[in-house]
Structure 1
């Protein structure tokens, strides 16, 4: 049966909270779109089981069992990764070392050698001379040159060495060990790097080769000490004519690496890639892999946009379930930026967990570790079980979608989440959260067993699934407990667990109210019982309604004598002040009550009852009195209205109605029908005054509240039966007989 909603006020008469909600609607839409976009990314970048080439299995030596494959478009045949790396390494090894030429090296070397020889000769090759020129010369103490013939012999040896060096420098002398270069040729570049030539490495000289050649040159005709002398002199005098250039060498290596082709051939569109039944060789495998790669790239060009758009619509459709639910049925959550943001963050978190369960490569059943039951518990405690129910269904669809239509996992998580949320629906203490472990586990058991028997899986798979599901059952309450603590610390959200702390008539504020304003206190207790019964009847939050009723009138602590319920045997002070002043004092109990509530750190959800149980109602008695006293007959109605805001929930509407109904029960009511008509008139008056515009209460709910109020209040409101007194003479005779 459709529920009629209350829309009695014109748009230009919307209260400030509703205008604020309207102004922020666009922001909420943008926030929702951002959430959808993030989850769209999760949806796109997941594993897609493909039915085309990607599902084919092929390897060298295998038989191609599928249809003859013909190229839809031309593509290159890519080398395998191993082959390409091998070719790159070969290219590196083939790069010739580069040497820079020094044309002055020969002259510099011979000049230095001649200078060292002259120094030794001038001192007649004494040990002291060797100590100065060649300190480590092994023959410095036995090298004796005395005769003229010896001097001539050394001079001839020097000339031989110089002629040899001239020949060596004509080819090239390097300072590096030529064995370190694997190539048979080298590149010789001019010092200004303008010209270069390739030269056989075998013609070049390094220090080791020079030493061997000098030894071969002198050994037949000269003693060992003379051979060693000129080897030492050459070693100390040598200036290489060719210097290895590491920079130019590395530059050539980079060029060589880049020049290595990644392909080994080309397949034209329409050409047969592989025929059905053919035994695959290495080229066939390369063709197939290349076609697979190119096919993905080609598809991606046309597929990216459509894939993104499809994923976006998919996620948007799922997100719209919770968005519309909040917009229509939970305006309080939708209008609160933090609460709406929390729902969106949780939506993204579920998407992230689903995505991780896909991309983490493991054979373990980690899909059952998605903490959806924990999130269901948290939403049921922070908001309500109905919101948790809708959220769990929405999040389950999100998981199924991101996991590639994995409804098996989604259904198990959904059932566990819904049962878990139900288990904490009427939670009384924080430790009761851990009782939900059993319910969450039971929620997992049924669907897992159902799919197990349906698929006839092996027992080890069942054991693994159950193990991860039970682990989820244990982790969920723990995670919810921790997150609940954080949310309560960081936000103004008031959970039922927090409300339980204020569900105590011994609270200091209520004790003070009982002492200062006993009439208001008794009215509060009676009205709280009445409001709780009404809340239960229409499915509202009983606990919130009762606690809100306890504290709705705490502002009367300041001037209790100005309120009718406290004026027993006390003169009415309103008779001595103006109606406007009386209205100000009456309204003051709202503002003072809010200040007092904040001083005692009451949660915002409880504080809401203080202004909302009057809304923007008219203080009719003093307004009418002001009209009577006004000579001109004009009075500003705004001076006689409560500041508001209007009730924004079923609970605050209930307290508004029950506050007035409980007061009416003190009037002389003759019948049940009269009481019912009085309460109905009061409710319809508030309805026509627009006091219920901000709430989601329905006419059906209002009718139920009226019936509950009449049923419970009639016992108090009905007139007492007037018993007749006995005649005086009967009373006297009876007394005489008793004597």
Structure 2
């Protein structure tokens, strides 16, 4: 279901225009054979040229306005009403009233426009506009009309000599001046569209069979315009419903095949990852995001595709899954993206080369600084691969496009922040990277230092278990870093009651003396629950908590279990009182941990350390665990277990080897 969602999303975002089968750029050589016109087609002006010509002709466009006669009627009616009610008008002589009313009628008939519209028209090339009166629109000079201010000044300045200016001002004439020339947006926009249609979008025709370009020739500005026009016509012609449907089917099939191959890779070669829904979702999320980002970038021409940091796909999947899966996922992402980009061959060669280098430089990922270092190697690879391809295709170092190198530099900056993405995905998906495990395995971590101080014997036991489990995990191909880290933390719960565990007890002191066997068993069993609680309080990942929960599985503390049965023969024992909460191991790593913990603890009680005694101990303990069924849910084989036994025997022989006795110096008498 997750795969189908990814397939449908990518297919949906595929660019929908008809596909022009050639890729070309101005100033670069034509890589294909002779191209002739397949049919008659117009040569379209470039968008920039067409826009420039349209802007040039629009400079002579006259916008449309209408005159609102009701404004004058309302203003005069208001003036007539006020001259009978307002004192400033009532006290004016009739000559003033008559003059003001006539001038208001005059300026309204000439027209009053807003200051903004007036200044815009006054600054235009024509300094005129069209005034609609009924079905007729006449051209008017801007000087023939007024703004509110110029109308007011006209009334004052054109007064007869016998009228006093101050008395006119006291009439508050500006209160009766309103704009009556209104912009007609709908008519203006319609007229503007018709006006710019005078500019032809084409600059000629190419006849069918006419030669356009041949292999090796440089795509100059004129040829680029012709090729762009041919591409545009082909894409417009291929826009039919039938062709779109078949193109959609083709896109779906290509995406299905490529993502289907990734599905089969996981199914047959990484079944553990295939069964992990979280891991599958994570990988498909990254692949889908970068492919859709490519589709959107190409469709809307947002920026050059070389800015997109495809190497992040490799880095993230390598960090959380493994190198082979990271390379396979990167190839699928690159091939899907290449279906959308110009120059797909160049794109595939450069991006796959970068993906391989990313895998090589992160082979042993143990420090976050390696992610920063890898960014520099990736940048160098981008530059070398691009320069190599340019020299191979063109044979001239001057053909290297400096702008492409700038795109690589931006790509490099994005990749440098990949370590932040590692942290984000760790928290979002609950992953634990090799870097995080190395950091957690540092014995100077506060929690491990606290363990070494409160329970030094347990700390030493954890170190020995870590060594045993790491060696075994390496031998059978399990995750050695995870086992090493999990082993260091598996017994942190013993810090709560360290003295109750033999490795921390001083000679002759046993806190269990006098305690009921049930109580002693409870204290021992609780170190698992206490360990989980401490781990969660300190923010340890769930993968480490798994080791704490499973290192005893659902076994029983045999010393107290058997002691109780010996003291209470024939009585029914409550198994739950003497049983660890579990669960049992469910991975190779947790199974190895359980074996290593039991073997290391028991090896301390051997009376002698010979190869035979060590081998017998290892075989007995692990065979008992197998017989109890503790490894039924773990994907570990009998062959793996036999290999683990051999590793434990070899390591314990080294730890407990017999040391030679140093001779004493004899003194001469």
Report TM bin, short chain. Answer: 0.5 to 0.7
Shift of 1:589: 0.5
The alignment partner of 2:283 has SS state of helix
Partner of 1:714: 653
Could you report, residue by residue, the CA deviation over 1:596-645 in whole angstroms, capped at 9, with x for unpaired residues?
Answer: 23334434333332112223334444444455555556545444332223
The alignment partner of 2:417 has SS state of helix
| Alpha-carbon distance in 1 for matches of 2:403, 2:95 | 89
Partner of 2:482: 544
Task: Please show how residues 63-102 of structure 1 align to structure 2 within 5 Å.
Answer: none
Could you report, residue by residue, the CA deviation over 1:24-81 in whole angstroms, capped at 9, with x for unpaired residues?
Answer: xxxxx34x43333222223354773349xxxxxxxxxxxx966789xxxxxxxxxxx9
Pick from 20, 24, 34 the counterpart of residue 5 of structure 2. Answer: 34
| Alpha-carbon distance in 2 for matches of 1:645, 1:446 | 53
The alignment partner of 2:521 has SS state of helix
Pick from 286, 299, 314 the counterpart of residue 346 of structure 1. Answer: 286
| Alpha-carbon distance in 2 for matches of 1:440, 1:345 | 23
Shift of 1:577: 4.5
1:133–1:308 distance in 2 versus 1, CA, 3 Å: same
Partner of 1:8: none
| Alpha-carbon distance in 1 for matches of 2:102, 2:448 | 110
Aligned residues of 2:308 and 2:411 also touching (Cα < 8 A): no
Task: Please show how residues 177-196 of structure 1 align to structure 2 within 5 Å.
Answer: none
Shift of 1:550: 1.9
Partner of 1:647: 585
The alignment partner of 1:49 has SS state of coil
1:665–1:465 distance in 2 versus 1, CA, 3 Å: farther
Pick from 260, 267, 273 the counterpart of residue 317 of structure 1. Answer: 260
The alignment partner of 2:440 has SS state of coil
Partner of 2:622: 683
Partner of 1:705: 644
Shift of 1:373: 1.9
Partner of 2:272: 329
| Alpha-carbon distance in 1 for matches of 2:643, 2:99 | 119
Partner of 1:152: none
Shift of 1:709: 1.1
| Alpha-carbon distance in 2 for matches of 1:458, 1:605 | 55
1:324–1:497 distance in 2 versus 1, CA, 3 Å: same
Could you report, residue by residue, the CA deviation over 1:565-593 in whole angstroms, capped at 9, with x for unpaired residues?
Answer: 34553365556445444432221000111
1:581–1:647 distance in 2 versus 1, CA, 3 Å: same
Task: Please show how residues 31-70 of structure 1 align to structure 2 within 5 Å.
Answer: 32-45=3-16, 48-50=19-21
| Alpha-carbon distance in 2 for matches of 1:299, 1:444 | 41
Could you report, residue by residue, the CA deviation over 1:279-314 in whole angstroms, capped at 9, with x for unpaired residues?
Answer: xxxxxxx9x999974652243464265245425524
Higher relative contact order (CA 8 A, sep 6+): 1
Shift of 1:361: 4.4
Partner of 2:70: none
| Alpha-carbon distance in 2 for matches of 1:657, 1:301 | 62
Partner of 2:31: none
1:657–1:460 distance in 2 versus 1, CA, 3 Å: farther
Segments of 5+ residues of structure 1 without an aligned counterpart are 1-28, 52-63, 70-80, 87-92, 100-127, 139-174, 189-200, 202-245, 259-273, 279-285, 724-734
| Alpha-carbon distance in 1 for matches of 2:405, 2:288 | 26
The alignment partner of 2:14 has SS state of helix
Aligned residues of 2:20 and 2:235 also touching (Cα < 8 A): no
What do you get for the CA RMSD once the two structures are aligned? 5.7
| Alpha-carbon distance in 2 for matches of 1:292, 1:485 | 44
Partner of 1:15: none
Task: Please show how residues 279-678 of structure 1 align to structure 2 within 5 Å.
Answer: 293=236, 296-300=239-243, 302-303=245-246, 306-307=249-250, 309-314=252-257, 316-317=259-260, 319-320=262-263, 324=267, 328-330=271-273, 334-336=276-278, 341-356=281-296, 358-359=298-299, 361=301, 366-403=304-341, 406-441=344-379, 443-444=381-382, 447-448=385-386, 451-452=389-390, 455-456=393-394, 458-462=396-400, 464=402, 467=405, 470-471=408-409, 474-487=412-425, 492-567=430-505, 569-570=507-508, 576-628=514-566, 634-666=572-604, 667-668=606-607, 671-678=610-617
Larger-Rg structure? 1
- Alignment TM-score, normalising by the size of structure 1: 0.57
Shift of 1:462: 4.1
1:407–1:275 distance in 2 versus 1, CA, 3 Å: closer
1:402–1:591 distance in 2 versus 1, CA, 3 Å: farther
| Alpha-carbon distance in 1 for matches of 2:342, 2:562 | 69
Aligned residues of 1:661 and 1:679 also touching (Cα < 8 A): yes
Aligned residues of 1:374 and 1:417 also touching (Cα < 8 A): no
| Alpha-carbon distance in 1 for matches of 2:308, 2:102 | 81
Segments of 5+ residues of structure 2 without an aligned counterpart are 23-34, 41-46, 55-60, 68-92, 104-108, 112-127, 139-181, 195-206, 212-228
Aligned residues of 1:532 and 1:542 also touching (Cα < 8 A): yes
Shift of 1:708: 1.7
Shift of 1:561: 3.5
The alignment partner of 1:676 has SS state of helix
| Alpha-carbon distance in 2 for matches of 1:472, 1:703 | 52
1:308–1:564 distance in 2 versus 1, CA, 3 Å: same
| Alpha-carbon distance in 2 for matches of 1:46, 1:625 | 81
Shift of 1:371: 0.7
Aligned residues, how many?
Answer: 536
| Alpha-carbon distance in 2 for matches of 1:424, 1:568 | 47
| Alpha-carbon distance in 2 for matches of 1:613, 1:46 | 59
1:717–1:399 distance in 2 versus 1, CA, 3 Å: same
Shift of 1:501: 3.7
1:396–1:593 distance in 2 versus 1, CA, 3 Å: same
Shift of 1:707: 2.0
- Alignment TM-score, normalising by the size of structure 2: 0.62
Aligned residues of 1:545 and 1:655 also touching (Cα < 8 A): yes
Could you report, residue by residue, the CA deviation over 1:390-409 in whole angstroms, capped at 9, with x for unpaired residues?
Answer: 43333333333444893542
Shift of 1:476: 4.8
Aligned residues of 2:391 and 2:397 also touching (Cα < 8 A): no
| Alpha-carbon distance in 2 for matches of 1:130, 1:41 | 79
Aligned residues of 1:510 and 1:551 also touching (Cα < 8 A): yes
Aligned residues of 1:40 and 1:312 also touching (Cα < 8 A): yes
Aligned residues of 2:518 and 2:578 also touching (Cα < 8 A): yes
Aligned residues of 1:672 and 1:710 also touching (Cα < 8 A): yes
